[in-house]
């Protein structure tokens, strides 16, 4: 198993996405938003790649290893604003989407080269921009 960079090592770790879901069944039933599949552990260590997702109902932000052991790191929490519109159409979903703190927290992620998991941890420490 690859060693994690120091800033990632103390994070809660699960052996798989399924284990993350078993830990809190709300996660399994919740919608998820993905924030890319090419996250690197650090600028120096670009492998393995990680997928970053946000679980709407719990606010959990996690990274899932894309190769190797398939570990999952629980990066932190960014609670949702309001309830997910399971019905109501595109307009209701669009309003919900625009109002979410996770969108402000991770604003600019797609422009990172490379996207690095430590960037997310820094953003979580700083909090959601107003």
80 pLDDT higher than 80 = yes
Neighbours of 75 (CB within 10 A): 23
Count of H helices and E strands in the chain?
5, 5
pLDDT of 39 reads 96
Task: Specify the pTM.
Answer: 0.87
pLDDT value of residue 85: 67
Tokens of 63: 């990274």
Residue 8, pLDDT above cutoff 90: no
CA 105: distance to chain centroid?
11
Helix ranges (DSSP H) in 9-88: 17-23, 25-29
Q: What average pLDDT does the chain have?
A: 87
């Amino acid at each position: 198993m690859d060693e994690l960079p120091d800033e990632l090592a103390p994070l809660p770790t699960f052996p798989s996405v399924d284990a993350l879901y078993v830990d809190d069944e709300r996660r399994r039933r919740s919608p998820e938003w993905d924030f890319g599949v090419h996250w690197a552990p650090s600028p120096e260590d670009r492998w393995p790649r990680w997928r970053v997702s946000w679980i709407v109902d719990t606010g959990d932000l996690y990274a899932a290893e894309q190769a190797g052991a398939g570990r999952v790191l629980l990066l932190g929490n960014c609670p949702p604003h309001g309830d997910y519109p399971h019905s109501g159409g595109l307009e209701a979903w669009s309003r919900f989407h625009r109002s979410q703190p996770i969108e402000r927290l991770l604003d600019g992620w797609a422009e990172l080269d490379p996207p690095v998991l430590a960037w997310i941890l820094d953003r979580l420490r700083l909090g959601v921009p107003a």
